Chain A
Amino acid sequence: MMTDKEWTPKIVAFCCNWCSYGGADTAGMGRFQQPASTRVIRVMCSGRIDPLHVFNAFLEGADAVLVTGCHIGDCHYVNGNEKTEVRYQFLEEMLQQLGLEPDRLHLNWISASEGERFANFIKDVTAKVKELGPSPLKPAGVK
């Protein structure tokens, strides 16, 4: 049995195929070690990420959700990430109203060459969420 001290946050990272997923790959190639807290879900463009996907990840038991994509101006699909930005603002407001702490939802632009940035991002968020403890939206029985 795990004690609370050993508890690791459970994080979902939505990544776009062209940039942030590549950033996670580059982190691997550079062997940038990071906590084993995060599971990546790949979509072609961050613009595909529906706020519903993020809600559902929380309802399944995620302690934090990361929405990631290309830097503004670098989107493979011209400007998909600009739409992500707009939807993200909506998400942020909704989650705050649900009583979730701001540190449980993050938007970050990571290019395919920014492996270290990806790893540091995972480290930072994991540490912050570890302090917050499990998400209040977690279903009963899930750690």
Chain B
Amino acid sequence: MSKLVGAVAVAGGGVAGIQSAIDLANSGLKVYLIENSTSIGGKMAQLDKTFPTLDCSMCTLSPKLAEVARHPNIELLTYSEITGIEGEAGDFTVKVKKKATFVDPNKCTACGLCVPKCPVKVPDEYNEGGNNRKAIYLAFPQAVPRVYTIDAEKCLYLTKGKCGNCAKACENDAINYDDKGEEIEINVGSVILSTGFEPFDATQLEQYRMDHPDVVTSMQFERQLSSSGPFEGHITLSDGTHPKRIAWIQCIGSRSPEIGRRNCSSVCCMYATKEAMVAMEHDSELETTIFNIDVRAFGKGFEEFYQKAKNEKSVRFINSRPSGVEVDPNTNKLSLKYEGEDGNGTCREEFDMVVLSIGLTPSKSSKQLVDIANVEMDDLGFVKTKIDCPVETTRPGIFVSGAMQAPKDIPDTVADASGAASKASSLLSSERGKLVTEKQYPTEKEITDEIRTGVVVCRCGINIGSIVDVPDVVNYAKDLSGVVFAKEEVYACSSDSLAGIADLVKEHDLNRVVVASCTPRTHEPLFRETLMEAGLNPYMFELANIREHCSWVHQNEKDKATKKAKDIVRMSVSRANLLQPLYKEKVEFNNSGLVIGGGIAGMNATIDIADKGFHVTLVEKSAELGGLLNAYTKLQDGRSTSEVLEPIIGRVRSHDNITLMTDTELVGLEGSMGKFTAHLKKAGVDEEIQCGVAIIATGANELVPEGYFSYGKYPNIVTQSKLEHMIDEGTDAKDIVFIQCAGGRNNERPYCSRACCTVAMKNAIRLKEGDPDRNVYVLYRDIRTFGRWEDLYTQARELGVVFMRYTEDKEPEVGEKSIKMYDSLLNMDFDINYDLLALSAPLVAPETNEGLGSLFKVPLDSNKFFLEAHIKLRPVEFATEGVFLCGTAQAPKLVDEAVSQALAAASRACTILSSDFLETIGNVSVVDPELCIGCGRCTMVCPYKAPELKEVVVETEEITYTTKKCEINPTVCKGCGSCAAECPTGAITSRHYTAPQIMAVIKAYGEGL
């Protein structure tokens, strides 16, 4: 490689692109995040809640949107598309076409005054056409960037030369009808493709009657559920009433080879279950039915979620997919015809609403991008990768993540995204920090005892000014204690006003600033930045929210709104007067890593950290590397496991930055992020190493299914992993039976083991291909060959493998030579003779997890796998900072998923390792040792383990004694303040939300009554 450029182009601003961009930017690389639509956020921004925890989707996503918006290393190119990618790994030239928005982003303050003046109504894409937006619009309330766009195809002025209302309404002169857009070229070292998926277009399947208004797609239904949706969260039929019976039909546009959509879409079974559960929260009387082929609840916590829906919430699951929706020509009512279970014959039922669970398909723009990027696609239309290199495309330097690679859910997408970022960052590791510049601020002025607070009251055009009497509020503010200056602004956040605030600080020698305008959730970072530019500590700022919390919600009570605005300003000033400068502490740390577990995940994580130039120690308790994969002989793509393992093991053994310690166990651990001390034991000898981050990759084991299906009783009963070796060695068995879920999905192990169905398909195919005259029977509960592995299921059926469904309450009975089995689909009993029975036993968590968990102070889930910080957006992190997890230590999974997580864990770890020092947040909590009585209550409430009791020697005039006092580690404290509320003696100060500050606000509140 002749040249390396320390910048990366990330195509697609959904959750995948966002995660890649944040990881790369935090590792010191410049990022161009290129998004086709007007806002980042992608499909996740449209979701109401996420499975299986029913978390609010926007609540978890919007902090990430804000992080991208204000990250100095990320350049956001929205409403833009890539038109060319030339060059090679390390040095690409990417052509980007920025479409015209007709709104000057430097002038638009997103005040929204233009919107009511626009006469054009356009179906709102964000709400899936459930209501209308205007021709000038913000994609959704939390959109990033917060700049309006004019829809050129719909705008009256741009299409017919009439109107021009928005330009007249805009008080900041931001509308520019002459905007032509532009084409730019950017120079980057790597490209990440993450433009996601497109929901399947169900209108092409006429039999499902999308022409009927009460037949909706799952995405439309999702918007109906949302409180920000077209009906404010009320599920509404076309006649305005609410449905009593809703049906979901699964696999619309998935598992349908007849229309060229062979793959399973991986997420629909779970989102349908979620939608049914959430809908029933809205209306407990609602009857919900999900028509399916198999219920594919294969991810972490999914099976438990499905069982809860079925057994506790009475969601009805019917194993049959209706071939269409019938509409009664007289009553216009909807009904579905399906094959009843247990041989009940054809049934018909009426429903008020039918939701089509549409699949994930490669988007048109993704296809174009694949052509432009010149990377290969597989025959399903997804970007081609290998199982052991899940984020690498066929063109070096170009990586892929998320649903563009295969249909997948949010956590898998986030893992991929971090993994792709890691690969790009490894390639460019020598260029870290070269293209990013740190902004320089003037020296902070000293804060004297004299309080000199300045107040700026914003009119926000007419948003505030038409309701609240702004001059009255300004005059009121002038008389408040501590205030030395007050004035009004039309738009406090416009760039000229911001410069004006900086001037005021100097002119009036202000040491605190209060802006009375809108919400701090969007605008606080902007004003804090302004203070820094004026030489004031950013924490000397307070926002008084008189728009969202006042003028907008009291539009018909102007006097009361003005009174409230004064109260809010007075309360804010009282707080501002007590603000103190806060500083982010810089802490030195050890920038090497520790990986525990030498399986495919641990080895990939190790190599990836080492490739970025950091030293890493890999600890493996056995003598061999390879872990769980050593138990199997083939991957599902036909390659042997040794073909995949050997090169990785070779790299681990030969890498200069890796210290490999086999036969070694971790026996002790102290410290926190940046300064861990790990105690290792190798052949009875103790060793101690220092590291800054640690990754847990300790894997899982195949259950020995003792006690299930006569395992251990007869010799010809084996597990799938044993079967693989028997196939290699050549078996003469003629009648072979598989039993799925052997020891899984039961009371003892309620989870689905995710990988077993795909492994079973692989082995069934190998047996049939080896000898077509063999009989292979698969006895199953649900076949869960999700995503592209659906092809293996199809292939097995085509080869003549016989599939028979059993139910949990009537399990097959295994005798010495034959199996008694009730087939629930055919409603018939069978006796199957066998000479070899292979049990698909689940992966189980090693017993050592509990000990390891308590060493690292990280939690386990109810199945004893490690529990990540957030099931959706932080899949490879723990709440405890500096500790990560990947692979089957987190939950059972396939090899490509384990590798993707391993790269993700390495990426997240390296965002820490690649900094020069650790930086604390400003508003950490601190302990006054004089007041601390060492009770330890703070250590119990802190989820991050920041407070720690330490032994101290106290010397008084009379006696000297040893006691315990709490210390808070500022590098891991997140500033929530829970410890301060818990502390019985007031020893803990939650900075920026101190007791005196909060009490002052309460007192100021009282003064207005």
Contact = CB atoms under 8 A, between A and B. Distances in A.
A61 B978 CA distance: 26
B63 A18 contact: yes
Nearest to B925: A48
B521 A17 contact: yes
B460 to A, nearest CB: 11
A56 B1002 contact: yes
B553 A117 contact: no
B554 A36 contact: yes
A73 B55 contact: yes
B563 interface: yes
Nearest to B998: A53
A33 B999 contact: no
B990 interface: yes
A33 B990 CA distance: 34
A110 to B, nearest CB: 10
B53 interface: yes
A44 B227 contact: no
Among A19, A27, A48, A143, chain B packs the most CB atoms within 10 A around the CB of A48
A44 B991 CA distance: 11
Given A21-B521, A71-B56, A28 B549 contact: yes
Interface stretch (B262-270, B833-841, B969-977): B969-977
A9 to B, nearest CB: 11
A87 B982 CA distance: 9
A72 B982 CA distance: 19
A41 B1001 contact: yes
A29 B146 CA distance: 14
A28 B553 contact: yes
B557 A36 contact: yes
B548 A43 contact: no
A83 B1006 CA distance: 27
B980 interface: yes
A21 B59 CA distance: 12
Interface string A12-28: 10000111011011111
Interface string A103-125: 00000000111111101000000
Interface in B509-549: 519-521, 545, 547-549
A130 B473 CA distance: 28
Contacts of B975: 44
Nearest to A59: B1006
Contact of A78 (B561, B943, B1001): B943
A124 to B, nearest CB: 15
A44 B59 contact: no
B1005 A113 contact: no
Interface residues of A, number: 61
B692 to A, nearest CB: 23
B553 A39 contact: no
Contact of B1003 (A21, A22, A30, A60): A60
Contacts of B978: 45, 47-48, 77, 80, 83
Contacts of B60: 74
A119 B233 CA distance: 14
Contacts of B685: none
B853 to A, nearest CB: 16
A26 B981 CA distance: 28
B227 A31 contact: no
Nearest to A55: B1002
Interface residues of B, number: 61
Contact of B553 (A31, A53, A60, A143): A31
B571 A39 contact: yes
Contacts of B1001: 41
A17 to B, nearest CB: 7
Given A28-B548, A113-B58, A48 B141 contact: no
A115 to B, nearest CB: 7
Given A39-B564, A48-B981, A71-B56, A76 B63 contact: yes
Interface in B230-270: 232-233
A64 B707 CA distance: 61
Interface in A83-114: 83, 87, 111-114
B974 A77 contact: yes
B984 to A, nearest CB: 11
Contacts of A25: 519, 521, 545, 548-549
Nearest to B463: A28
Interface in A34-53: 34, 36, 39-45, 47-50, 52-53
Contacts of B519: 21, 25, 28
A129 interface: no
23 contacts: A8-B560, A19-B59, A22-B62, A24-B548, A31-B553, A32-B553, A33-B555, A36-B563, A36-B564, A39-B568, A41-B1005, A47-B941, A47-B978, A50-B980, A53-B998, A60-B1009, A61-B1006, A70-B59, A74-B55, A76-B63, A80-B978, A116-B227, A116-B233
Q: Which 10 A-B residue pairings sit nearest by Cβ, starting from the closest? A: A60-B1006, A28-B548, A48-B977, A47-B978, A78-B943, A77-B976, A36-B560, A45-B976, A28-B552, A25-B548
Given A26-B141, A45-B977, 11 more contacts: A22-B59, A28-B552, A36-B564, A39-B568, A41-B1001, A45-B978, A60-B1006, A83-B941, A87-B981, A112-B58, A116-B232
